[in-house]
């Protein structure tokens, strides 16, 4: 035999380290940095408390329009000159938005970082926001969303979110807004949102070789001309569970796959069950080896992939499963998925499954946290959720210590198979009868 039959065991484990974290108050703002010695590339990210949760009801998508408008010229230069200046440093201005924060970042060879942060700050703090530009950017964003909503997924996501959280609430509407909400924004919405949320100092996140970076100079540039303190962020929101499952059918005529989005509300990020919930979600649907992917992809071949996880922000959370399945097997795939969620809630997890889940989640903290971009993202987690410098080491220890009873208890407590909203986006004429016959819950047609 030319192959070695015995599987090798692990060698001696190297100690886990998250890069050393430096926190500093400078020029009215906070700097949080990680030292990556020898790294040629550096990332600087300005974190503002201006996430989608700050957008007023009916103004969904405001942050996205403002993000684009920042690059339409500054007090010092027009849009083209600005683009050429920042791209000459080797970076674009990268903007991002979630429920809790707005992020603007640059990624450059380390010797260009100060110049890049100066340009970043120029756009964030002193954008021109010329009314004609803002209107054009708004129209472009509405068009971009319309393009995006032609893909399978966004309509189903919106239907699920509205059903879980209520469309009368900001958090019951799409994070990035929809084509209609963006088209309805006016110039003043954008300028007011900027002056309210973009002139506070915020936090500057830096990941790079700190021996070659002048943090004080970066902070001076990032926080120049800012004022106002932090605003109250509000506590967790109580979201009631639905009584009884229901199917919401979103018609997509001619679709060769059905898009599944199944979910229910779940706890916010700082809930004490965060770690066992994460592991229960991993066993059920968070990894390739999880129960759902094994059953729906590897056993039945119904899909290219299916995932399910708990996700949470500061104020609320949700458990959701997503997949695209071949149209003809929509109902059986749905029945199998609901069945697996039900089994996991009732029966918990096994030690074998949990061993994979905890090692995987723990190992990912070294395997996936290598690049300056990934480290910067990990630092934003510390800031947004008020976590300590050694959080990643603590998290690793907590993941590795979680036992079957704790994780099974989290599955029993936080999975609610009977309260699931089952959103199906597909060819309604083809799948409706099968979905009704599956008797998983009342079927409602999404308008």
Partner 1 sequence: MPDSGYPWPIETSRLDNGLRVVVSEDRTAPAVAVNLWYDVGSRHEPAGQTGFAHLFEHLMFEGSVNVAKTEHMKLIQGSGGSLNATTNPDRTNYFETVPAEHLELALWLEADRMGGLVPALTQETLDNQREVVKNERRQRYENVPYGDAWLRLLPLLYPPGHPYHHATIGSMADLNAADLATFQAFHRTYYAPNNAVLTVVGDAPAAEVFALADKYFGALPAREDIPPAPDGRSVEATGRPAVQTVTADVPAPRVYVAHRGHPFGSPGYDVLTVLATVLGSGRGSRLYQRLADGERIAQPDLVGAYGVDLAHAPAPLIATATARPGVSAERLTEGLAEVVDELATVPVTAAELDRAKALLSTAWWRQMSTVDGRADTLGRYATQFGDPARAADRLPAWLAVTAEQIAEVAAEVLGAADRVTLTYLPEETA
Site for partner 1 in 385-444 (CB under 8 A): none
Q: Are 262 and 330 in contact, with CB atoms under 8 Å apart?
A: no
By CB under 8 A, name the one of 28, 96, 152, 236 that touches partner 1. Answer: 152
Residue 77 binds to partner 1 (criterion: CB under 8 A): no
Q: Name residue 325's beta-bridge partners.
A: 258, 303
> What CA–CA distance (Å, rounded) separates 93 from 116?
9
By CB under 8 A, name the one of 35, 77, 212, 297 that touches partner 1. Answer: 297
Q: Are 65 and 145 in contact, with CB atoms under 8 Å apart?
A: no
Task: Supply the DSSP string of 43-107, one letter for each residue.
Answer: EEEEEES-SGGGSPTT-TTHHHHHHHHTTS-BSSS-HHHHHHHHHTTT-PPEEEE-SS-EEEEEE
By CB under 8 A, name the one of 23, 25, 37, 381 that touches partner 1. Answer: 37
Q: Which stretch binds partner 1 (CB under 8 A): 88-96, 163-171, 219-227, 243-251?
A: 88-96
By CB under 8 A, name the one of 25, 87, 211, 350 that touches partner 1. Answer: 87
What SS3 state is found at 433? helix
Residues 91-110 that bind partner 1 (CB under 8 A): 91-92, 107-109
Count the Cβ atoms, other than its own, within 10 Å of residue 77: 16
Measured from the CB atom, is 30 or 91 closer to partner 1? Answer: 91
By CB under 8 A, name the one of 22, 41, 167, 217 that touches partner 1. Answer: 41
By CB under 8 A, name the one of 90, 131, 180, 240 that touches partner 1. Answer: 90
Measured from the CB atom, is 181 or 290 closer to partner 1? Answer: 290
> What CA–CA distance (Å, rounded) separates 149 from 48?
28
By CB under 8 A, name the one of 24, 35, 77, 146 that touches partner 1. Answer: 146
> What CA–CA distance (Å, rounded) separates 117 from 46?
9
Q: Which stretch binds partner 1 (CB under 8 A): 164-172, 183-191, 196-204, 369-377?
A: 369-377
> What CA–CA distance (Å, rounded) separates 6 from 95?
49
In the complex, least distance from residue 403 CB atom to partner 1, rounded to whole angstroms: 16
Phi, psi of 399 (to 5 degrees): -60, -45
Q: Which stretch binds partner 1 (CB under 8 A): 118-126, 308-316, 334-342, 354-362?
A: 354-362
In the complex, least distance from residue 175 CB atom to partner 1, rounded to whole angstroms: 17
In the complex, least distance from residue 241 CB atom to partner 1, rounded to whole angstroms: 31
Residues 7-36 that bind partner 1 (CB under 8 A): 7-17
What SS3 state is found at 312? strand
The sign one gets for the Cα dihedral 403, 404, 408, 411 is: positive
By CB under 8 A, name the one of 22, 26, 83, 398 that touches partner 1. Answer: 83
- Count residues binding partner 1 (CB under 8 A): 78
Q: Which stretch binds partner 1 (CB under 8 A): 52-60, 81-89, 272-280, 313-321?
A: 81-89
In the complex, least distance from residue 310 CB atom to partner 1, rounded to whole angstroms: 18
Task: Supply the DSSP string of 180-240, one letter for each residue.
Answer: HHHHT--HHHHHHHHHHHSSS--EEEEEE-GGG--HHHHHHHHHTT----PPP---PPP-P
By CB under 8 A, name the one of 25, 231, 241, 299 that touches partner 1. Answer: 299
Residue 364 binds to partner 1 (criterion: CB under 8 A): yes
In the complex, least distance from residue 183 CB atom to partner 1, rounded to whole angstroms: 11
Residues 312-351 that bind partner 1 (CB under 8 A): 324-326
Contacts of 246 (CB under 8 A, 6+ apart): 163, 421, 422, 441, 442, 443, 444
Pairing of strands 246-251, 421-426: parallel
Residues 256-295 that bind partner 1 (CB under 8 A): 256-257, 287-289, 294
Measured from the CB atom, is 195 or 364 closer to partner 1? Answer: 364
By CB under 8 A, name the one of 58, 76, 111, 151 that touches partner 1. Answer: 151
């Amino acid at each position: 035999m030319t192959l070695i039959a015995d599987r090798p065991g692990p060698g001696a484990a190297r100690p886990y380290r998250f890069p050393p974290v430096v926190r500093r108050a400078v020029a009215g703002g906070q700097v949080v940095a990680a030292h990556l010695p020898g790294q040629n590339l550096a990332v600087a990210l300005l974190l503002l408390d201006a996430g989608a949760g700050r957008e007023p009801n009916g103004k969904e998508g405001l942050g996205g329009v403002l993000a684009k408008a920042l690059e339409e010229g500054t007090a010092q230069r027009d849009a083209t000159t600005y683009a050429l200046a920042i791209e000459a440093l080797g970076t674009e201005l990268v903007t991002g938005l979630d429920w809790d924060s707005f992020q603007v970042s640059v990624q450059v060879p380390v010797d260009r970082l100060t110049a890049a942060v100066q340009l970043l700050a120029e756009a964030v703090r002193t954008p021109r926001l010329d009314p004609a530009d803002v209107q054009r950017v708004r129209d472009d964003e509405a068009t971009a969303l319309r393009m995006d909503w032609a893909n399978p997924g966004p309509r189903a996501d919106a239907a699920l979110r509205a059903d879980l959280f209520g469309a009368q609430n900001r958090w019951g509407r799409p994070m990035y807004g929809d084509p209609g909400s963006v088209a309805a924004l006016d110039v003043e919405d954008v300028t007011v949102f900027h002056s309210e949320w973009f002139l506070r100092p915020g936090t500057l996140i830096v990941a790079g070789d700190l021996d070659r970076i002048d943090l004080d100079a970066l902070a001076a540039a990032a926080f120049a001309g800012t004022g106002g303190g932090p605003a109250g962020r509000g506590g967790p929101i109580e979201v009631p569970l639905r009584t009884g499952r229901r199917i919401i059918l979103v018609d997509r005529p001619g679709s060769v796959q059905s898009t599944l989005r199944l979910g229910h509300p779940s706890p916010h990020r700082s809930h004490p069950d965060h770690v066992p919930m994460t592991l229960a979600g991993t066993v059920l649907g968070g990894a390739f080896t999880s129960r759902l992917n094994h059953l729906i992809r590897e056993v039945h071949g119904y899909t290219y992939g299916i995932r399910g996880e708990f996700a949470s922000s500061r104020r609320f959370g949700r458990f959701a499963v997503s997949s695209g399945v071949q149209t003809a097997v929509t109902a059986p795939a749905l029945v199998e998925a609901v069945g697996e969620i039900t089994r996991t809630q009732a029966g918990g997890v096994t030690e074998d499954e949990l061993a994979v889940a905890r090692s995987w989640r723990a190992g990912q903290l070294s395997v996936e946290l290598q690049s300056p971009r990934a480290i910067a993202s990990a630092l934003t987690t510390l800031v947004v959720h008020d976590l300590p410098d050694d959080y990643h080491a603590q998290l690793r220890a907590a993941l590795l210590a979680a036992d079957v009873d704790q994780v099974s208890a989290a599955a029993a407590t936080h999975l609610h198979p009977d309260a699931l909203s089952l959103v199906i986006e597909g060819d309604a004429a083809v799948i409706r009868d099968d979905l009704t016959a599956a008797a998983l819950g009342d079927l409602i047609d999404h308008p």
